[in-house]
Structure 1
């Protein structure tokens, strides 16, 4: 990986700019990243609110701010922000029609040493139980600012999922919600979400597949999937719970013969530490595991 600013730092920089630019923007914290926003808080103490280690309160405060006409951003680790605070997301945001932007760090298992309390592979699937949410999964720090600005400006509730895992290069088209064709082929569409692009490119080297990249998964561009999945075979590679977006692929292709292979974080809890890179092969998300799954999928294609 080349040296570059990480996603959380880009988030902090963008939040600082947004608060300077728009008096409606506020950020609500639960200690996480509060030290990085101290200077911003000193200039705008009324719009940088740290409630301490009270994540449910954080979301409730964001909901209250939204009801006054503010555009709040709530930020913490993914399991604390989405799973621990889900009742407040459902009621204080969704039920009250209050719009906020949730921005997480930690992804599925970025901090493996933190154990299960800091892992959230089911976060996007959980938000999928609520209507109307946008979900952005940047794959590079340079994608964070544009995606966050889009989320704040869209006047809807949105989830921006940051990660320590990044692709080597940014893909600006992904910040517009498009599926970018990175490699063309005929046997299948392999759709890589966010930081899964580089592992997918390594895994599919030499295979006759189209590789598409997407950083906005809600809404997912179903028309692009219909256009790109010419063979009817789709491999979906997501950095969270396997199969999270499979229903949308089915919706896109429900009027034609098709097959879908869903790759992502498995449902079996890995009760061990190690590094994220050591967890990848256990979920089949390293390049060798992805290639094995894709090859087996293509080989098992029914005879026409």
Structure 2
């Protein structure tokens, strides 16, 4: 996804004079020619995320279309006041592309983890949150939204889906299959694991790549059992409010396969962390079987 995004920047800056791009000491080599040839619109500001947001907000106020790039915890948590006051309060169209979501950077430890990003951004009215499952889906969603005038946050991953790469539309969930016993919400890069378990079973599978605004209508129309399993590569419960709102007035049962709400103090590779915290097909199968049997 990162290569696809930086490739888009290489195309966009020369072709669209009203676009600007800022980064914080990441991805410079891949776009070195653009940085060299368009220094007035394409700049590495250094390790200065909060300042970068305010600079981008000023550019947006002038009618330009800014895109900023960095590591997710620093883009979301270090800059929270700027997101609230410079982006959301001012209603400015800025695209924020973050890499290193959740535990994508396992060797750097807790400072580089960000499983809380979804719930933080969803708590700020007016912000959008997009979590594509593949590079193709990132490009589709970016093209659909980067000029829409809203603060839009993109969570890109180094661990995309490989088997499933369907076309996606901003603000809409995809219905991968329909069944009666339960509805599984597969978020972003968790679709491959979900389909490994659910393909051919009597369950509904919905794939969500837009997390804010959340497509409540599709969930409401595709949950005949009232049983929901949310498989999300972020803190458990990040989408729970939307699920309850979508199914308001109905008796429902919700289970999660997600990161627990705790500080991650252990070490290991990405795959070892996913195994440790249970974001695996085996765990999905276990929880789904229990949910369907109840």
Aligned residue pairs, count: 294
State how far apart, in whole Å, the 1-side matches of 2:79 and 2:215 are. 29
Cross-structure match for 2:136: 142
Cross-structure match for 1:132: 126
State how far apart, in whole Å, the 2-side matches of 1:149 and 1:169 are. 23
Give the alignment's TM-score, normalised by structure 1: 0.92
State how far apart, in whole Å, the 2-side matches of 1:255 and 1:51 are. 50
Q: CA shift at 1:172, angstroms? A: 4.0
Q: Structure 2: where are the runs of 5+ without partners?
A: none
Write out aligned runs for 1:39-54 (5 A): 39-54=33-48
Do 1:139 and 1:167's aligned partners in 2 also have CA atoms closer than 8 Å?
yes
State how far apart, in whole Å, the 2-side matches of 1:125 and 1:291 are. 26
Give the alignment's TM-score, normalised by structure 2: 0.95
1:103 paired with 2:97, answer yes
Q: Deviations over 1:6-65 (max 9, x none)?
A: x10000011222223322211111111122221111221111121101111111111111
State how far apart, in whole Å, the 1-side matches of 2:172 and 2:89 are. 30
Q: Secondary structure at the match of 1:153?
A: coil
Cross-structure match for 1:236: 230
Q: CA shift at 1:249, angstroms? A: 0.8
State how far apart, in whole Å, the 2-side matches of 1:118 and 1:74 are. 18
Do 1:141 and 1:170's aligned partners in 2 also have CA atoms closer than 8 Å?
no
State how far apart, in whole Å, the 2-side matches of 1:10 and 1:119 are. 22
Q: Bigger shift: 198-207 or 68-77?
A: 198-207
For the aligned residue pairs, the C-alpha RMSD in angstroms reads: 1.5
Q: Bigger shift: 18-27 or 209-218?
A: 18-27
Cross-structure match for 2:285: 291
Do 2:164 and 2:191's aligned partners in 1 also have CA atoms closer than 8 Å?
no
Cross-structure match for 1:79: 73
